[in-house]
Amino acid sequence: MDVEEKVSLFKSFAAEIVTEEELRHVFESKEHPNAYDGFEPSGIAGIHFGLMRSKNIKKILSTGVHFKLYLADYFAYINNKLGGDIDHIRTAGKYFVEVWKAAGVDTDKVEIIWNKDLMQDFSYWERFLRIGKITSLDRVKRAITIMGRREGEALSSAQIFYPIMQATDIFQMDIDICQLGIDQRKANILAREAAQRYGWKVPVVVSHPLLLGLKGAPADLKSSDEDTLMSYKMSKSDPSSSITVHDTFEQIKKKVNGAYCPEKVTDGNPIFDYLEKIIIDDKMGPIAIERPEKFGGLFEADNFNELVKSYKAGKIHPADMKSFVSGELEKRVKPIREHFENNNTARALYEEVRGYTITR
């Protein structure tokens, strides 16, 4: 895979790249650059974690990138996830690793890093202080949306540390490419500014879009508006608007059937969001949607864009789209669900984590 192919692969799923030219330079200068994605371990994994993000990671690994999966245990502790119980948080982290395995991520080809281990070195805190010294408190408060909280929300003193810690992680792990959700953009840009100020390596920011919740979003919502997107993304804190990697086919069908999916509208429509970000890929071939004969029988589209045009023209009914998406999600969730049913270690972790109380 040449440099342009690698850049094109990142562009295929990114909402924004800061900057594309810098990404190109990274691949020109390094055969195996460091990239990472990070997570607060908390609760049961939704399909945005188990399907969309694992799909992106597998794509990235094909470029020869050295990928680091970062389990941000103390970030979850600061953010009061799982009641701020650090033991529960770390158990949830082990569960997350099992989800990645079940989703087809080759964990032998990624480096799994825990925040607790990264923080052991004094150099972490030296970097933390240097970044904090050049970052105003107002700037930090504007960045708290990376925690899933709103600007102006009451914070503990520890939560003020969060954005600076996240920027520190990037340098401590020697990251070339930050590959996180668009909701994490503010921390990544803060890290870029600190790097430019101190003459450190400037990380490239590849932000992937967020997956919509089943309730949908306004049609004019922009993927680059990370603050507003938080209100509409899929979140396990709202079970009625999310699908988990453990849901049965019946549960998936029930949730999808209740999803926002107006006729002839694809923008802000979660059914089309899941098609684009999870289901459709280069290996899929023609998209075939089964319909009753009285409604036209089998419908086929060569690609996603053709499907969108057909739906907007009223050629496909929402019920048929929902039936198709339910079936395709089941194909992808089933191997994960079965891994946790058949693997004793994975099953024990799942049973323990699902008994925890979700807090925010």
Tens digit of each residue's pLDDT (9 = 90 or more) over 148-204: 776 667 788 999 999 999 999 999 999 999 999 999 999 999 999 999 999 999 999
In whole numbers, what is the pLDDT of the chain averaged over residues? Answer: 91
β-strand pairing of 34-39 with 66-71? parallel
Over range 310-316, report the average pLDDT.
94
Residues 138 and 207: their CA atoms lie apart, in Å, by 23
The amino acid at residue 29 is S
Query: Is the CATH number 3.40.50.620 carried by domain 3-208?
Result: yes
Q: What is the pLDDT of residues 287-301, one digit of tens each?
A: 999 888 888 899 999
Which residues of the chain does CATH 3.40.50.620 include? Answer: 3-208
Nearest to 170 by CA among 223, 113, 224: 113
Which residues of the chain does CATH 1.10.240.10 include? Answer: 226-353
Asked whether residue 223 carries a pLDDT value surpassing 70, the answer given is no
Which pLDDT belongs to residue 228?
A: 62
Q: What is the pLDDT of residues 6-40, one digit of tens each?
A: 999 999 999 999 999 999 999 999 999 999 999 99
pLDDT band at 319 (very low <50, low <70, confident <90, very high): very high
SS3 for 290-317 is CCCHHHCCCEEECCHHHHHHHHHCCCCC
For domain 226-353, the CATH superfamily is: Tyrosyl-Transfer RNA Synthetase (1.10.240.10)
